[in-house]
Structure 1
Amino acid sequence: MPQDRFRQAAKERRLLFNAWLTFNAPFLIELIGEAGWDCITIDQQHGLGGNEALVGCLTAARACGLPAIVRVAENDAGLIGRALDAGAQGIMCPLIETVEDADAFVRAVKFPPRGLRSWGPYRARLDYDGDYFTTANGFTIACPQIETKGALDALDEILGLEGVDMVCFGPNDISVALTGRLDIWAPEVKEARELVLRKCREFDVMALIFANDVDYAKPLVAEGWDVVAVGTDAGWFSKAAAETRRAATT
């Protein structure tokens, strides 16, 4: 069975830095691994590419030893199963509104008796020496996003569900839901962020958060989030390209 970096780090209260991918290019994953990031999120909601790109990224991630979370486009059992079968350890699901949404998501991630995941882990079995079926539920990660007012209102119920292993707090969408504007620094967002982290500790659920940039990420590190994503590959490239062009003319 492969190393469970997420759960081991959470147990040790050791922060993992997450590289959030929207280009979904396998070579970029190799560079990210070389740069020392701890894990990746392959974004198939707001990122490029379909299933072929996903398989290529998961192949590169395995070669680099980077555990991978896949954000699916929607709460769809087919998309969830496909990503898991291809080798994702974790599945992140956007736009969770209710505990019923979260339960349907968990059932798609987990095999029976907890869930309804269909059998067919063609790449997921590659690192397994033993019985994949009996151990997969304890290794895979169901990560609903807390990014809507509905999810925030149902937070205790969602975190209390068997099989919810991690949640992802999305400051951008939460800011729109709570304030009607895109403002991740709003007091309402800070209050919601602190609530989610506190409740994750109470329910023993891993806590992942997305930070738009380094300035937003630094206090999150101090707060003790388990996994912190700092920007996206597109943002890194855009900033570096502009800075390089500027430096060449000064």
Structure 2
Amino acid sequence: MPEDLFRKAARERRTLLNAWLMLNNPFAIELIGAAGWDCVTIDQQHGMGGNETLLACLTAARAAGLPAIVRVANDDPGLVGRALDAGAQGIMCPLINSVEEAEAFVRAVKYPPRGLRSWGPYRAKIGHADDYFASANGFTIACPQIETKGALEQLDDILGLDGVDMVCFGPNDLSVALTGRLDIWAKEVQDAMTLVLRKAREKSVMTLIFANDVDFAKPRIEEGWDIVAVGTDAGWFSAAAAATKAAVASSS
């Protein structure tokens, strides 16, 4: 079985840096791997491309040695199964509102008897020398997002579900849900963030957080979040393009 970097790093209390992809370009993934990032999230909720793009990105991620999480567009077993069969280790589900929705999501990620995932791991089983069916439920990662009032209110129950391996704290959507404005530094968001990290640790559930920028990311690394995403590939490209243009313009 391939090395499980996510669980290994969590046991070692070592934070992984996650490249969050919205442009979803295979060559960009190769560059990200060469730059030394630890893992990737391929965003199919707010990112570009469909299944063919997803497959190309997962192929590039494996070639670059980057374990991959796919954020599906919604809690759809078909989308979950397709991403897993294509080789994603983790599946992230946005906008979970209740423990019932989280349970349905976990069942889509896991094979029977825990879940309802259909058999057909055409790329997922590559590199698994042993029986993929026997090892898959312990290798794959079900990661519901905590970004709604409902998920926050039912946090204990969600974290207590068998098969919830990781949670992703989404500060942007949660800030809107809690305050009515986009403010990831709001006290309500900071308090929720502290709560989720503490509760997840108590339940031995891995934690991932999306940071809009480096200023938000650095304290999260110090706090010991297992995985920290720092901006997006689209944001990096936009910032670098603007900075290069400004540098050239100022010298002319």
Equivalents in 2 of 1:184, 1:243: separation in Å? 25
- Aligned residue for 2:95? 95
Counterpart amino acid of 2:46?
Answer: H
| TM-score, normalised via structure 1 length | 1.00
2:225 aligned counterpart, secondary structure? coil
- Aligned residue for 2:39? 39
- Aligned residue for 2:135? 135
Structure 2 gap segments, 5+ residues each = none
Equivalents in 1 of 2:63, 2:134: separation in Å? 25
2:91 aligned counterpart, secondary structure? strand
Shift of 1:109: 0.1
- Aligned residue for 1:85? 85
Query: How do 1:189-208 and structure 2 match up within 5 A?
Result: 189-208=189-208
Q: Which 4+ stretches in 1 moved above 4 angstroms?
A: none
- Aligned residue for 1:240? 240
- Aligned residue for 2:170? 170
2:123 corresponds to 1:123? yes
Query: How do 1:144-163 and structure 2 match up within 5 A?
Result: 144-163=144-163
Equivalents in 1 of 2:18, 2:213: separation in Å? 12
Shift of 1:211: 0.1
Equivalents in 1 of 2:128, 2:141: separation in Å? 16
| TM-score, normalised via structure 2 length | 0.99
**C-alpha RMSD over aligned residues:** 0.3
1:249 aligned counterpart, secondary structure? helix
Equivalents in 2 of 1:94, 1:216: separation in Å? 21
Shift of 1:97: 0.3
1:241 aligned counterpart, secondary structure? helix
Equivalents in 1 of 2:249, 2:111: separation in Å? 57
Shift of 1:116: 0.2
Aligned residues: 250
1:27 aligned counterpart, secondary structure? helix
Equivalents in 1 of 2:97, 2:85: separation in Å? 26
Equivalents in 2 of 1:136, 1:37: separation in Å? 25
Equivalents in 1 of 2:219, 2:118: separation in Å? 41
2:249 aligned counterpart, secondary structure? coil
- Aligned residue for 1:180? 180
Equivalents in 2 of 1:95, 1:26: separation in Å? 27
Equivalents in 2 of 1:130, 1:187: separation in Å? 48
Query: How do 1:67-82 and structure 2 match up within 5 A?
Result: 67-82=67-82
Shift of 1:115: 0.2
Counterpart amino acid of 2:82?
Answer: R
Counterpart amino acid of 2:96?
Answer: I
Shift of 1:41: 0.1
Counterpart amino acid of 2:19?
Answer: A
1:155-211 Cα shifts (integer Å, max 9, x gaps)? 000000000000000000000000000000000000000000000100000000000
Shift of 1:127: 1.0
1:182 aligned counterpart, secondary structure? coil
- Aligned residue for 1:217? 217
Equivalents in 2 of 1:94, 1:238: separation in Å? 25
Structure 1 gap segments, 5+ residues each = none
Equivalents in 2 of 1:12, 1:233: separation in Å? 28
Equivalents in 2 of 1:164, 1:103: separation in Å? 9
Shift of 1:79: 0.2
Equivalents in 1 of 2:182, 2:61: separation in Å? 32
Counterpart amino acid of 1:109?
Answer: V
2:20 corresponds to 1:59? no
